Structure 1
Amino acid sequence: MNSFPSDECVIVVCNAPDAETAGRIAEALVGERLAACVNILAPCRSVYLWQGAVERSEEVPLLIKTRRDAYPRLEARLQALHPYEVPEIVAWPLVMGLPSYLTWVSDSVVSSGEAG
């Protein structure tokens, strides 16, 4: 691990269609050690353009904490678990954070080259 654990960590944002789906996704990602933690937030209203029409729906946001090197596997698994044809899956790098928290995130996630 380098001296700046934030360099290794990212937050992935994904909206689920309902609380049941959000819970199923969160349990799978943490259980498979692709994420250290998934926050399931309160439902929100989304307005978006889909196939030429303005759509409105209620969705449940997920904040997924993981490592940068685990992101490709997390993205593939999230896409497989998600019911949407094109789910929102975006990652933001963590610039700063409590070092002990970021170390915990890093230590909790297993990348493809590590034993679980």
Structure 2
Amino acid sequence: MTFVAGSKMDFLSPRYHKQSLVQTLCRFGLFVICMGMVLTMSMYPMLRFLGGKLHSSFTGSYLPGHHSVLLVNCPNEQTAKDIGRAIMERRMAACINILPRTSTMYYWKGEIQDATEILMLVKTRTSKTQRLIDYVKSVHPYETPEVLSFPVEDGSLPYLKWVDEAVPDD
């Protein structure tokens, strides 16, 4: 048996179609654009943060939302002091105000409850709020502690700078 070029055995050898240079460049360009978009989207939070810092430092203005105030209710003053001191020792807040006795009414298990509580105001960087919330939930005696976070829209720049110095950025 002799094999002749173009015989039935050609199907065993792979055939490669040459792509044109234009098709190759288009595919490569599309790949570069897609990778650029993925990188930009994944780096957006960091780029936004750095842009805000640069804008703030050049203009001397405040970047809204960079700081937050958390409200935390506690059953008594000692609990508030213990939680507050632990937060301060962990450098998660610059300042905590413990406000005296507040009257509280709330729904709990289908009934209106009437209680006396101590309110804490926790001042910190917004980047620390989730860690603070998780920590308070882990040490608080309530089954469902009240922990609410509010972004600071504006304020005294020297005070807000002091908050930044007091609470290290991870």
TM-score after normalising by structure 2:
0.63
CA RMSD of aligned residues (A): 1.3
Aligned mates of 2:65, 2:106 — CA distance in 1: 32
State the Cα distance separating 1:8 from its structure 2 match.
Answer: 1.1
- Runs of at least 5 residues in structure 1 that lack an aligned partner in the other structure: none
Say which structure is richer in helix.
Answer: 2
Aligned mates of 1:48, 1:56 — CA distance in 2: 7
Task: Give the structure 1 partner of residue 165 of structure 2.
Answer: 107
- 1:72 counterpart SS class: helix
Task: Give the structure 2 partner of residue 30 of structure 1.
Answer: 88
Percent of aligned pairs sharing the same letter: 33
Give 1:1-116 correspondences, 5 Å limit.
2=53, 3=56, 4=62, 6-111=64-169, 114=170
Say which structure is richer in strand.
Answer: 1
For residues 54-95 of structure 1, what are the alpha-carbon distances to aligned partners after superposition, in whole Å with 9 as ceiling and x for unaligned? 111100000000111111111111111210011110011111
1:105 aligned partner, one-letter code: V
- Runs of at least 5 residues in structure 2 that lack an aligned partner in the other structure: 1-51, 57-61
Aligned mates of 1:55, 1:36 — CA distance in 2: 33
Aligned residue pairs: how many?
Answer: 112
- 2:65 counterpart SS class: helix
State the Cα distance separating 1:6 from its structure 2 match.
Answer: 4.6
Q: Is the 8 A contact 1:70 1:110 kept in 2?
A: no
State the Cα distance separating 1:108 from its structure 2 match.
Answer: 1.4
TM-score after normalising by structure 1:
0.91
Residues 77 and 65 (structure 1), Cα distance of their counterparts in 2 relative to 1, 3 Å cut: same
Structure 1 residue ranges, 4+ long, deviating more than 2 angstroms after superposition? none
